Chain A
């Protein structure tokens, strides 16, 4: 069964460093998302992406964050200058049609980001 994959599974970085989290969505999906979950808290929406542009973003997704689909298969989340509070599990998701409002989103296993 097709699935969303994410790499790395765990990333440790120093405060102020840039990190890139990678995701390979399900191959025929067109809508892509990033969410994060700080330990013990809710899963929070960061951004959705369709047709090579951001379709929606949350207040969390400030100028330190960016997303890109550099080729036909990868979807990346870049954090330019990491802060301690960016430590969280980051989930990538994809859907065939607009998710959220209409259809299910399929989530990857997550990347645990630890900022020291």
Chain B
């Protein structure tokens, strides 16, 4: 089984529409984080939600976390062409330091 599986694998929308990406995980976590990666570039931290939080907002981003279902969603409202990127969820938990990443969702926002 794999920690941090996003769906859909790819999402194509028009500028101005909302984009929703989902992430499921297997083990217990302390937090879940979302990162963005533009093609061939580094990872940009977007938002962190802790296991005792259910929802968090940052600008046009809204993240939810359901620990009973071991799932999270990332909503980007009023998308822009510049939002085109891969989006990854990453989980941290237990006594370790590492983040465990999912395979990511490739979001394409068409102008």
Which residues of A does B touch, CB under 8 Å?
31, 33, 35, 41-45, 48, 50, 55-56, 58, 89, 91, 93, 98-110, 112
Q: Are A98 and B97 in contact (CB under 8 A)?
A: yes
The answer on a CB contact under 8 Å between A101 and B95 is yes
Chain B residues whose CB sits within 8 angstroms of the CB of A104 once the complex forms: 33, 45, 48
Q: In the complex, what residues of A have CB within 8 A of residue B88's CB?
A: 43
Min C-beta distance of A42 to chain B, whole Å: 5
A95 CB to nearest chain B CB (Å): 8
A101 touches B41 (CB 8 A): no
User: Complex formed: what's the CA distance from A31 to B31 in Å?
Assistant: 17
Given known contacts A43-B43, A43-B101, A101 and B93 CB-to-CB distance under 8 angstroms: yes
Chain B interfacial residues counted at CB < 8 A: 26
Q: CB-nearest residue of chain A relative to B45? A: A104
Given A104-B33, A104-B45, answer yes or no on A45-B95 (Cβ-Cβ < 8 Å): no
Contact with A along B82-102 (1 / 0, CB 8 A): 000000101011111111111
B93: nearest residue on chain A (CB-CB)? A101
- Within B15-30, the residues touching A (CB, 8 Å) are 30
Nearest to A44 among chain B residues (CB) is B101
- B97 contacts which of A41, A48, A91, A110 (Cβ < 8 Å)? A48
Within the assembled complex, what's the spacing in Å between the Cα atoms of A99 and B98?
A: 7
Find out whether the CB atom of A100 lies under 8 angstroms from the CB atom of B92: yes
Closest residue on chain B to residue A98 by CB atoms: B97
Contact in complex: B45, A99 (CB < 8 Å): no
